[in-house]
Chain A
Amino acid sequence: MKAFAQLFLYLDETNKTNEKVRRLKEYFNSVPDDDKMHMLALFTDRRPKRPINSTLVRTWAVEVSNIPAWLFEESYHVVGDLAETMSLLMPENTSGSNKTLTQWVAEINEIGTRNEEERKLWLTEAWAMLDKQERFVFNKILTGSFRVGVSQNLVIKALAEVTGIEAPTLTHRIMGSWMPETYSYEQLIQAQGAADDISRPYPFFLAYPIQETSEKRKAAADLEDALGEPQEWQAEWKWDGIRAQMIKRNGKIFIWSRGEDLSTEKFPELHPFLNDLPDGTVLDGEILSFSNGLPMPFNVLQTRIGRKNLSKKILQESPVAVIAYDCLEYGGEDIRTKTQAERRVLLEQLQAGTEYPEIFRISELIKFDTWEELEKVREQSRAMIAEGIMLKRKKATYQVGRRRGDWWKWKIDPLSIDAVMIYAQKGHGRRADLYTDYTFAVWDGDKLVPFAKAYSGLTDQEINKVDYFVKRNTLEKFGPVRTVKPELVFEIGFEGINKSTRHKSGIALRFPRILRWRHDKKKEEADTLETLKALLDPISPSPDEEA
């Protein structure tokens, strides 16, 4: 654990990539193999299940810290991280521990089966033998909130340098649902061992955004300059669903969503067509809810994802289908190195052979000869229930992760509205002890109605100024939330808007964020609820979320 805690501290302390890679390599080279795998698991979001619920952990932490519970809560709001708060408030450790990361994770996994008294004893003893930094990392693992300021790419880079295996290969081998207890370092570095898992998905290829700001739009001429001849590209709609990889191997099917969640059971509608595919097929596409052959807005699908059990009603109201746009494995062969155009031919063949064309759909190619033409087509995105356009170079291979060059997403401009900030709350992580999470309101007559929360979009400097304002213009405090004097106006951008019974305003926004601070506007000049409602999608259904 000492080495792991130290690694965490080093990574925390530097913002230089080379230095991080150096520290990661140092770690890989100095710890036993099972620790390497546990570290990889933690660094790729494969955390042990939380063995003790956080209320109990908090209660015991308050006891150990010997302060009133309210002061513990206030401290938490200042620190913005529960694991860190607990480690700071507890007294210095009285003894030490030489247990490895693997041993600690094993204990965490095991303690979940014990009774409360045994858990408490184990936890308080653990706290007493770990120093502050170890305790912090341990708490992070224990509370299931382990995150690290290092991208998976960087970890892979370091591992690639240590093992001599290429990064894309390693990225592929750490995909899927492996556990550090059963997937050994030896298996990872031996090609044979890694191929054993028939459920293993390929790393997703992610498009880079063609970015636009409200000041600057990309004109067709810019695209021409940057992308070259339109003939070299294929264009598709950018569908607003769940990115998924669908696998059929050895008679078994697997559905992976982008967050690397195995979600086969969440989409039973897809099973017949997947079972029907030849063995050794992997498709990439978007899962969406459909109604009468037309895709529905994302929020319909969203209400369904949240459910533990899929009721008949849900399956009837928002049946899903897939719009496939790529084929990564064909006839048991990894075809990611073939070109986009070649893979497209194979995908079309597969789709032509399906008996379920309503469920296994294919992403239509948009015909265009000039960038001007495509620019016009893009304007229809919203009507198509699409987020914009995808551009894929016909010669592109299927790459690993977000890469510039061959796949671009050209999103439509967000919808936007001017709103007044009315509540503020402190953020977490690097925004701890700063008011960074805001609630915005629009006018409904002479009242301000909250309609959205947004956390991102301001620069650090702007955040400091808003924080300064909040601290001096607080009207009321409700726990961590402050009611703020309505004064500051912001332009809020969002991707979509739907009716909602859950919100006071009667609407819910998709991806709200702050586009800019409207210093030039007074609160009276903010928009009204009426304006906002006018943006409602006319075909948007109103899911009864409370039902």
Chain B
Amino acid sequence: MAKPLLEFTDRGIYCEQGRFYIDPWKPVDDAVITHAHADHAYVGHKRYLAHHLSKEVLYYRLGEISLQTVEYGETVMKNGVEICLFPAGHVIGSAQIRISYKGEVWVVSGDYKTQEDGVSTPFEPVACQHFISECTFGMPVYQWKEQAQIFNDINSWWYSNQQQGLLTVISGYSLGKAQRILQNLDLSIGPVFTHGVIENTNEALRRNGVVLNPTTRITADTPKDEVRKGIILAPPSAIGTPWIRKFAPFSFGYCSGWMALRGAKRRRAADRGFVLSDHADWDGLMSAIDATGCEKVYLTHGYTASFTRYLNEIGFDAREVHTLYGEEEEEETHPNLPNNTPSKSPPKGETLTENGKPSDRQVSPLGEDLGGVK
């Protein structure tokens, strides 16, 4: 039997025929990038190929790289292998990579969602024989509601906070969720103030020609009274830091697919948890896989074991593959990852807090436990 067109190596997904990798996690010569999240777009490759809308974000996150960008549907040839990008609907500029050679067709979907978010180019099913899929939310307990309903809840929560004179802080990761929230907030309620990390990404996207709603970056000079009239859009990492505590009291809302479960919600201890994800839910994964008409499915990250077993039971030929995806981008992956041991330093110019890390658990001073006794 001939060697398959793509193989799973310890550097990433590799096409030997075309001599390039897709989303490799170790330095390689040629890397095709599905999207700009840190667990898919690593530093250190010689040449990058990605979607046009990922350009400025990649420069911002990875610095000076040699980058070629293409539109969706545009074909690039590498050593006789055809590479073509299709929208993945995950975040702005995210792509599924279709790779074909002599009639053999593979699609690497990267991260994706089938629901339209009004910001990213909507997901398009791509016919193939081999489909490489994520399954971050590959359990039937994950079923998303219509986006309109979620934003209805978010906007009425913001409005009601405002009526009570309470500041609203909403959190979502800086590339993708933040813009999705921004574009769906009801700006007749008030203005949007952004944490620097999110604003840096917004600026990169605007340089890329993406039109986003107006935002104001919070700096040391921003009057607090002004901020209190609006809403703060902050990344999850900013929560609990001195930076955000300056704005107390506020009501804190957190947007993530993980908020679908009570346990995760209680761990997060947000005032409100909104079930809003940039990944496909159970039905989304099923329909996406089904629509490819593929012969084989490879599951890269998420609930791979159960999901693979289920797919096999209903007649797909599925298997788990080991990758490093789903491990780094803050909170879009499983919330249990240790968040205080980043395996990669944040991009240049991103300072998460002013005074450093959140404080350690305090040790009670001697005699303190005797409390109210005088």
Contacts of A79 in B (CB 8 A): 141, 261-263
Please tell me if the beta carbons of A68 and B140 are within 8 angstroms of each other in the complex. Answer: no
* From B264, B273, B363, contact of A433 by CB (8 A): B264
Binding site for A on B (CB under 8 A): 139-141, 143, 260-267, 269, 271-273, 303, 306, 309-310, 313, 336-341, 361, 363-364, 366-367, 369-373
Sample of 6 A–B contacts (CB below 8 Å): A15-B269, A15-B271, A78-B303, A88-B261, A408-B370, A434-B267
Q: How far is the CA of A81 from the CA of B260 in the complex (A)?
A: 13
Q: How far is the CB of B305 from chain A (nearest CB, A)?
A: 8
Is B143 in contact with A88, judged by CB distance below 8 angstroms?
A: yes
- In Å, the complex CA distance between A80 and B340 comes to 25
Residue of A nearest to B367 (CB): A222
Residue pairs across A and B with CB atoms within 8 Å: the count is 116
Query: What is the CA–CA distance of A468 and B336 in the complex, to the nearest angstrom?
Result: 7
A524 within 8 A of B: no
Question: What residue of chain A has the Cβ atom nearest to residue B260's Cβ?
Answer: A88
Flag if B336 contacts A74 (CB, 8 Å): no
Q: Which stretch of A155-163, A291-299, A457-465, A496-504 is in the interface?
A: A457-465
Known pairs A149-B266, A213-B363, A405-B373. 5 more at Cβ < 8 A? A75-B139, A211-B364, A225-B367, A464-B336, A464-B339
Residues of A within 8 A of B271 (CB): 13-16
Pairwise interchain contact A433-B261, C-beta atoms closer than 8 A: yes
Least Cβ–Cβ distance between A103 and chain B, in angstroms: 25
Scan A67-79; emit 1 where CB is below 8 A from any B CB, else 0. 1101100110011
| Chain B residues closer than 8 Å to A425, beta-carbon distance | none
Cβ contacts under 8 Å, A13 to chain B: 265, 271-273
How far is the CB of B352 from the nearest CB of chain A, in Å?
Answer: 17
Q: Which residues of A contact B370 (CB under 8 A)?
A: 210, 222-223, 226-227, 404, 408
Residue A209 at the chain B interface, CB threshold 8 Å: yes
- Shortest CB-to-CB span from B6 to chain A, Å, is 25
Expressed in whole angstroms, the Cα–Cα distance for A459 and B366 within the complex equals 21
- The 6 A-B pairs at the shortest CB distance, nearest first, are namely A432-B263, A226-B370, A430-B266, A211-B369, A88-B141, A404-B371
- B338 & A65 in contact (Cβ 8 Å cutoff): no
Q: In the bound complex, how far is the Cα of B50 from the Cα of A224, in angstroms? A: 70
- The distance in angstroms between the C-alpha atoms of A68 and B303, with both chains bound, is 16
Contacts of B262 in A (CB 8 A): 12, 79, 81, 84, 429-430, 432
Query: Taking the complex as formed, is A208 at the interface, i.e. its CB lies under 8 A from any CB of chain B?
Result: yes
Chain A contacts of B337 at CB under 8 A?
464, 468
Q: How far is the CA of A235 from the CA of B168 in the complex (A)?
A: 52
Known: A13-B273, A74-B306. A84 touches B261 (CB 8 A): yes
The answer to whether B266 and A78 have CB atoms under 8 Å apart is: no
Q: Which residue from B140, B263, B373 sits with its C-beta under 8 Å from A71?
A: B140
Number of interface residues of A (CB under 8 A): 52
Q: Are the CB atoms of A461 and B369 closer together than 8 Å?
A: no
**Contact call B141/A89, Cβ cutoff below 8 A:** yes
B373: chain A residues within 8 A (beta carbon): 226-228, 404-405
Give the residue of B266, B306, B363 whose beta carbon is less than 8 angstroms from that of A429.
Answer: B266
Q: In the complex, what residues of A have CB within 8 A of residue B369's CB?
A: 209-211
Greatest chain A CB density within 10 A among B313, B370, B372 is at B370
A131 contacts chain B at the CB level, 8 A cutoff: no
| Residues of chain A having any CB pair with chain B under 8 Å | 12-16, 65, 67-68, 70-71, 74-75, 78-81, 84-85, 88-89, 149, 208-211, 213, 215-216, 218, 222-223, 225-228, 404-405, 408, 428-434, 459-461, 464-465, 467-468
Contacts of A213 in B (CB 8 A): 363-364
Give min CB distance, B103 to chain A, whole Å.
36
**A66 (CB) vs chain B CBs: closest residue:** B140
Contact check, A67 vs B140: say whether CB atoms are below 8 A apart: yes
Residues of A within 8 A of B261 (CB): 78-80, 84, 88, 432-433
Inter-chain contacts of B366 with A (CB < 8 A): 216, 218, 222
Q: List chain A residues, Cβ under 8 A from B303.
A: 74, 78
**When chains A and B are docked, how far (Å) is the Cα of A79 from the Cα of B371?**
38
Given contacts A13-B273, A88-B143, A404-B371, contact A80 B336 (CB under 8 A): no
Q: Chain B nearest CB: distance from A298 CB in Å?
A: 25
Q: A464-B336, A468-B338 are in contact. Are A218 and B141 (CB under 8 A)?
A: no
CA distance A179 to B267 in the complex (A): 34
Residues of chain B lying within 8 A (CB to CB) of residue A461: 338, 340
Tell me which residues across on chain B come within 8 A of A227, comparing CB atoms. 370, 373
How many angstroms between the C-alpha atoms of A215 and B262 in the bound complex?
A: 35
Q: Report the separation of the CA atoms of residues A223 and B367 in the bound assembly, to the nearest whole angstrom.
A: 7
CA distance A483 to B272 in the complex (A): 36
Given contacts A213-B363, A226-B370, contact A78 B313 (CB under 8 A): no
Interchain CB contact under 8 A, A433 and B263: yes
Cα(A338)–Cα(B280), bound, Å:
65
A85:B371 contact, CB within 8 angstroms: no
CB distance B336 to A78 under 8 Å?
no
A211–B364 CA distance with the chains assembled, in angstroms: 9
Complex contact A430–B338 (CB within 8 A): no
Complex Cα distance, B10 from A285, in Å, reads 65
> Complex Cα distance A85/B271, Å?
23
Q: Which residues of B contact A460 (CB under 8 A)?
A: 267
CB neighbours of B140 from chain A (8 A): 65, 67, 71, 75, 88-89
| Complex CA–CA separation, A71 to B139 (angstroms) | 8
A208–B371 CB distance below 8 A: yes
Query: Which of A16, A211, A433 contacts B336 (CB under 8 A)?
Result: A433
Contact between B372 and A405, CB atoms less than 8 A apart: yes
Contacts of B267 in A (CB 8 A): 430-431, 434, 460
Cβ A71 vs Cβ B260 within 8 A? no
Note all chain A residues with C-beta closer than 8 A to B143.
Answer: 88
Closest to B339 in A: A464
B residues near A215, Cβ cutoff 8 Å:
363
C-alpha gap A396/B364 in the complex (Å):
26
How close is B53's CB to chain A, nearest CB, in angstroms? 33
Determine the residue in chain B with the shortest Cβ distance to A430. Answer: B266
Q: Which residues of B contact A89 (CB under 8 A)?
A: 140-141
Cα A85 to Cα B369 with chains together (Å): 40
- Point out the residues of chain B lying under 8 angstroms from A84, CB to CB: 261-262
Give A470's nearest chain B residue, CB to CB.
B336
Query: Inside 8 A of B338's CB, which chain A residues have their CB?
Result: 461, 464-465, 468
Give the docked Cα–Cα distance between A149 and B263 (Å). 12
> Complex Cα distance A320/B214, Å?
75
Given A226-B367, A404-B373, do A68 and B310 touch, yes or no (CB 8 Å)?
A: yes
Closest to B327 in A: A468
User: Contacts of A222 on B, CB cut-off 8 Å?
Assistant: 366-367, 370
Contact B263 A429 (CB under 8 A): yes
Given the known A-B contacts A67-B140, A85-B141, A89-B141, are A432 and B264 also in contact in the complex, defined by CB atoms under 8 Å?
yes
Asked if A80 and B339 make an inter-chain contact with CB atoms under 8 angstroms apart, the answer reads: no
* A149: nearest chain-B partner, CB-CB: B266
For A67, the chain B residues whose CB sits under 8 A away are 140
Distance A414 CA – B140 CA, assembled complex (angstroms) = 44
